[in-house]
Amino acid sequence: MAELLARSANIPRIGRFGWLMGLYAENYTRLARLFAPADLRPGLYTSSIGDGLDLRIEVIETHPYTVELRLTYDLQDPVTGESDPSAFVRVYRDARQAEATHCYVGRRWQDVIGMFPPPAELISHRMRMNTFLGKWLEYLAESGHGVATLRRSEATVHQ
């Protein structure tokens, strides 16, 4: 038994930050397979699978190494009137990472946990947002959303 414990003590453990970077990598893979955001020009796109709940993808900006986008449904929060659920995502093409920077309009991490949160609280918040993003992307894939259902929209972008 002591030998088993000694061997398991030598196995490196993944820390919370490493776990978060793993979530970013998984989200990149899911997002790239679903919608190939690196190939999209700035603008508004709609993915419709005939269920009456269209997904909206707004490509906000593209840069040589990053793509900024927003995923949402065309549903409005009854209190704020803003689209909900909503996730703002920064895709790092070179690092093959996709990070949910904030979920829900006006709810950046500073709005949720304050300007100077302890590092552990900031990591926990980012883990929750990116776990949400991963589950949402998985749901979208299982529902049939993807490049084949994506159409560029001429509609104006919601601000």
Q: Give the pLDDT confidence of 107-153 residue by residue, as tens digits.
A: 555 566 666 777 777 788 889 899 999 999 999 999 999 999 999 98
Residue 7 maps to a domain: no
| Residue 20, domain member (yes or no) | yes
Contact 72, 85 (CB under 8 A): yes
- Angle of the 16-35 helix axis to the 119-143 helix axis, nearest 10: 30
Considering the domain boundaries, does residue 97 fall inside one?
yes
Domain that holds residue 64: 14-150
pLDDT category at 8 given cuts 50, 70, 90 is: low
The answer to whether 134 and 30 are in contact (CB under 8 A) is: yes
| Residue 6 within a domain | no
Q: Is residue 87 part of a domain?
A: yes
Provide the number of structural domains found in the chain: 1
Q: For residue 9, is it within any domain? A: no
Nearest to 101 by CA among 60, 138, 142: 60
**pLDDT tens readout for residues 11-28:** 656 688 888 999 999 999
Residue whose token pair is 């038994």? 1
60 within some domain: yes
Give this prediction's pTM. Answer: 0.80
